[in-house]
Structure 1
């Protein structure tokens, strides 16, 4: 019988739970042991499902990793959005950047999204995921009233990519820092100074959108 309305059948609920268990198990194993060192058998065993169940949901380990990165980026965007919405409008971009650095400092996000994902998924796919989630928020924030020709910066896409990479690079340095909290404060000060420089003074007219800027805005 066809499922009608918002309710899921038990089969659908079980399928969702199985998929989530596989993504969670993969995240834990990839973080602790590394992507290359973990096989499908180990992931299925940790998730307490069969190998057949794995292949029912994912074509291979890379497809599972893709789903894991999307899950991590979705959660990161939710956290950044919540942090931004909790403060006055004038402070939202900075609050979001601060929360993003906190996210980037966590082992799973740092090791899997920042370090492993470009090698496993490729730069193009990583940008697609970033711009659909965490970077998309920053692009939108820097675009300001772009529909009225009044963005906060001349090229919101480029500025968002550069600021985001600054935050990610700072997070990578925190792992080996003698004083992580001091380095984090210094990193935030540098990013905020950069943001202030980019957004201060008279706003310049928006540049004609590049193909990638238009794609990111969709």
Structure 2
């Protein structure tokens, strides 16, 4: 049985959440480069000391924002997958759930547009793989086990799938807000045709 949190612990957690929520909105609206830690603190009605108590610098704060955004997103994508008993239906549902997330300007801006700028390409890519690779491998393993995919090498297939989905995500995020839904639908059509060509 876990002990109840103290008032100080509760306040610390609430402060961290306030910083993450405020920073997420500012990073999405202004971009990483144009958002200062002092501005985040002011908007959250906190001191700069409170920011540095939880995060060592702006990059550390951005990473926490990205990780929270991806944690929430992957939970929704996995839920979309698990609703279906048929692994093909589940895979397509997960794919479309991801594409829907990218249409959302908040996700597109933080994860796909500002992420590489804030963290650097290699660090950002590793972070993205950390969140997505496990679920992609799970889905591909289920498809192979069910005989719906030929016995392809799981890790390599997952890596290629990750790159394809990421490419579609980048294309959607790069489109103007009014064009994102169209690019999302075009991406879905292309991916469905590619996946259909592999299915047994």
Is 2:13 the partner of 1:12? no
Alpha-carbon distance in 2 for matches of 1:126, 1:146: 29
| TM-aligned CA deviation for residue 145 of structure 1 | 7.6
For 1:209, the equivalent position in structure 2 comes to none
Is 2:143 the partner of 1:139? no
Unaligned runs of 5+ in 2: none
**TM-score under structure 2 length normalisation:** 0.86
| TM-aligned CA deviation for residue 175 of structure 1 | 2.4
**TM-score under structure 1 length normalisation:** 0.79
Alpha-carbon distance in 1 for matches of 2:188, 2:13: 38
Stretch of structure 1 that moved more, 23-32 or 134-143: 134-143
Unaligned runs of 5+ in 1: 202-218
For 1:100, the equivalent position in structure 2 comes to 98
The structure where helix makes up a greater share of residues is 2
**Compared with structure 1, are the counterparts of its residues 99 and 6 closer, same or farther at alpha carbon in structure 2 (3 Å cutoff)?**
farther
Post-superposition CA distance 1:88-147 (Å, at most 9, x none):
333111100100001111112111111111121122322332222234311321133889
**Compared with structure 1, are the counterparts of its residues 84 and 146 closer, same or farther at alpha carbon in structure 2 (3 Å cutoff)?**
closer
Alpha-carbon distance in 1 for matches of 2:44, 2:131: 26
Alpha-carbon distance in 1 for matches of 2:124, 2:29: 21
**Compared with structure 1, are the counterparts of its residues 152 and 56 closer, same or farther at alpha carbon in structure 2 (3 Å cutoff)?**
farther
Question: Any residues of structure 2 matched to 1:1-218 within 5 Å, and which?
Answer: 5-90=2-87, 91-144=89-142, 153-154=152-153, 155-175=156-176, 178=179, 180-197=180-197, 199-201=198-200
Post-superposition CA distance 1:160-204 (Å, at most 9, x none):
2222223313422542555x444332220101111222x324xxx
> Relative contact order: is structure 1 or structure 2 higher (C-alpha 8 Å, sep ≥ 6)?
2
**Compared with structure 1, are the counterparts of its residues 133 and 111 closer, same or farther at alpha carbon in structure 2 (3 Å cutoff)?**
same
The number of residue pairs the alignment matches comes to 194
Alpha-carbon distance in 2 for matches of 1:151, 1:40: 51
**Compared with structure 1, are the counterparts of its residues 123 and 183 closer, same or farther at alpha carbon in structure 2 (3 Å cutoff)?**
closer
Alpha-carbon distance in 2 for matches of 1:15, 1:84: 35
Contact 1:73/1:129 (8 A) holds in 2: no
**Compared with structure 1, are the counterparts of its residues 12 and 152 closer, same or farther at alpha carbon in structure 2 (3 Å cutoff)?**
farther
